Structure 1
Amino acid sequence: MLKKIYKIVIIPYTLFLLYLMFLGMGRFQYEDNLIRVEPVFSTIDFIQNSISWKNVIMIILGNIVMFIPFGFLGWIVPELKNLKSLLFAFISSIVIAEALQYFTRMGIFEVDDIILNTFGVYLGWLLCRYTEKRFSC
């Protein structure tokens, strides 16, 4: 039952997430192409220069939590049950999405986003394994 619901929901969810990445949450087109490639330091800088802890928590946790559902992709594509295959496919996809944000100037290419999003997928993969063992999916 869970797998059937997941198969129905994951496509609209992915489209919604792409909307958020490119158009939602007050997005606008930057004048310049922006890139942040120093892992962790840009997030620390963001935290230090943020006006509100609510924004910090929302953005950092959002970058993790919003990608947890992709840890369950093995339910649709059996090859992605393997963590290495899942992470390779996901990292390839998220790098493309970040590059599109860079080239369209509708966001910033950020290595920290890739790291946080990938951590979310990993947590989803762990949750998927737990769910399968607990409920015999």
Structure 2
Amino acid sequence: MNSGSRKRIRILGKILFVLYIIFIIYFLLFSDWYGRTGQMQEYHYNLVLFKEIKRFWYYRDQVGMFATFTNLFGNVVIFIPFGFFMPMASKHRSFLATLFYSFGLSLCVESFQLITKVGCFDVDDLLLNTLGGVAGYLIFIICVALRRIHGRKK
């Protein structure tokens, strides 16, 4: 792959990264899809790791599979693009950088929810969001490896 193609891919990655950040801020903080339009009267937070994960799994028949899937897998899936586009758009392409920035973005979102009383602060969400960012990074690494293998064959 020549230098011009790499530069175009990098620019595309940066554009997609910015669009993704705008989407995630809107979706996680302002979207009414999860009832985020109104402010709660009191603070809601969970500081016990795995508490909400266990609760959703244990009561999955009562809360429904959609709610269970959304809470457990949705928090992972929504951060996969972050882990994929972050190394594409940044000079920091390491696993640790992706782990740190995924956790940092998730912490910012959760803290904002706590402060504004829109949603609730949940350490399980921090874990699941960070795992999503790491999964996205692993997909990025696989794609880079496949591109290099394909490039060598040409």
Q: TM-score, normalised by structure 2?
A: 0.80
Q: Does structure 1 retain, via aligned residues, the 8 Å contact 2:46–2:121? A: yes
RMSD (Å) for aligned C-alpha atoms:
1.8
Q: For residue 10 of structure 1, report the CA deviation from its aligned partner.
A: 1.9
Paired position in structure 2 for 1:41: 51
The 1-side partners of 2:83 and 2:20 are apart by 13
- In structure 1, the gaps of 5 or more residues are none
User: Percent identity of the aligned residues?
Assistant: 25
- TM-score, with normalisation over the residues of structure 1? 0.89
Aligned counterparts, 1:14-53, within 5 A: 14-24=21-31, 25=33, 26-27=35-36, 28-49=38-59, 50-53=62-65
1:54 maps to what in 2?
A: 66
Q: Residue 56 of structure 1: CA displacement? A: 0.7
Answer with 1 or 2: which has the greater Rg: 2
Where does 1:101-116 land on structure 2 (aligned, <5 Å)? Answer: 101-116=113-128
Instruction: Choose 121-130 or 90-99, whichever is displaced more.
Output: 90-99
For structure 2, the residue ranges without an aligned partner over 5 or more in a row are 1-7
- How many residues end up aligned between the 2 structures? 136
Instruction: Give the structure, 1 or 2, with the largest relative contact order (CA under 8 Å, sep 6 or more).
Output: 1
